Amino acid sequence: MAATSSCNFNWGVNGKGTPEQPCSSSKSSQILFSSNLSFCYSNIRYCLSLRSHQTLLSTRFNETKNSAFVVASAKADPLKIMISGAPASGKGTQCELITKKYGLVHIAAGDLLRAEIASGSENGKRAKEYMEKGQLVPNEIVVMMVKERLLLPDSQENGWLLDGYPRSLLQATALKEFGFQPDLFILLEVNEEILVERVVGRRLDPVTGKIYHLKYSPPETEEIAARLTQRFDDTEEKVKLRLQTHHQNVEAVLLMYEDITLKVNGNVPKEDVFAQIDGALTKLHEDRKLI
């Protein structure tokens, strides 16, 4: 038995099944810093190298005149992150920064709902009625949409960042029953007066889908400014109803993810907000590599 920087198991067996001297691992297998299994049979050397992760990515065969070398390598499970916060708490901005650096698939429950509303579907019509009243959309409308999106190949392979969902304990429980458990639950905390100001000044470009703010992020040209619209749920009256609903439900959701919750100060500039999140994700990512 030999040992390198990770756990290695090397032994040899001849054609009659009796032990021989261990076969040394190749240079390539040692570079993988993984568990190695080597054995000899009928004058042919075989070497199997496995990284101690769960997902098998590739297998490579290199053959020489008297030997065969097999390498199977894998990477760590992708990150699964949830981010929550009141309307206009900065989730969208932080999601852009997170996905840019970590390559996670951004899944926004609000976008899924608005797509249903825009399509004019029956579910969309029902969802709009609840949203106009500042109430949560019933679980049966939302849960299956979120589940199906999380199960798509890109989410499974690259990891996901679930934005604005779950918003109630029932939704969190439904996700858990479907087998979706985050590695980290991020909660953005912002003062209410700041939230109201952010929402009321927010505008949507119907052509590009880009979100502007009349004060903090005005449109680049007069042409863009002329076509901007205000979302029907971005008025002061409706945002206060949404904030009330959010506060009533967030504490219950936190009970589900209490041990993995990161509370972030969202009153500071976006760069400082991301620095708080980035530090936690970097540590989580590095710890995952060591497993």
Q: What is the pLDDT of residue 79?
A: 94
Residue 91 is a catalytic residue: yes
Q: Which of 58, 59, 96 is nearest to 210 (CA)?
A: 96
Report the C-alpha gap between 248 and 245 in whole angstroms: 5
Q: With pLDDT > 70 as the criterion, what percentage of the chain qualifies?
A: 73
Report the C-alpha gap between 238 and 224 in whole angstroms: 25
Residue 242 is a catalytic residue: yes
Per-residue model confidence as pLDDT tens digits over 71-109: 333 466 899 999 999 888 988 899 999 999 999 999 988
Q: What is the pLDDT of residue 153?
A: 95
For the question of whether the overall pTM of this predicted structure is more than 0.85, the answer is no
Pure H helices in the chain: 27-31, 91-102, 109-119, 122-132, 139-150, 153-158, 169-177, 192-200, 222-227, 236-256, 270-290
Q: What is the pLDDT of residue 289?
A: 74
Provide the Cα torsion 232, 199, 159, 96; round to 10°. 120
Per-residue model confidence as pLDDT tens digits over 35-77: 444 444 444 444 443 333 333 333 333 333 343 333 333 466 8
Q: What is the pLDDT of residue 132?
A: 83
Positive or negative, the CA dihedral 17, 21, 27, 31 is positive
Per-residue model confidence as pLDDT tens digits over 279-288: 999 999 888 7
Report the C-alpha gap between 13 and 131 in whole angstroms: 69
Q: At residue 206, what is the residue type?
A: P
Q: Which of 128, 203, 238, 242 is catalytic?
A: 242
Q: Which of 128, 202, 203, 238 is catalytic?
A: 202
Report the C-alpha gap between 90 and 160 in whole angstroms: 18
Residue 114 is a catalytic residue: no
Q: Which of 75, 147, 231, 288 is catalytic?
A: 231
Report the C-alpha gap between 291 and 286 in whole angstroms: 9
Q: What is the pLDDT of residue 208?
A: 92
Residue 227 is a catalytic residue: no
Characterize the bridge pairing of strands 19-20 and 35-41.
unpaired
Q: What is the pLDDT of residue 5?
A: 37
pLDDT means over runs of 10, the chain (291 residues)? 39 39 38 39 41 36 37 65 91 93 91 83 83 80 86 94 89 92 95 92 92 90 94 87 86 91 95 97 84 56
Q: Which of 51, 91, 149, 203 is catalytic?
A: 91
* Cβ–Cβ < 8 Å for 19, 28: no
Helix (H, G, I), strand (E, B) or coil at 163: strand
Q: What is the pLDDT of residue 291?
A: 56
Q: At residue 17, what is the residue type?
A: G
Residue 176 is a catalytic residue: no
Q: Which of 167, 198, 203, 238 is catalytic?
A: 167
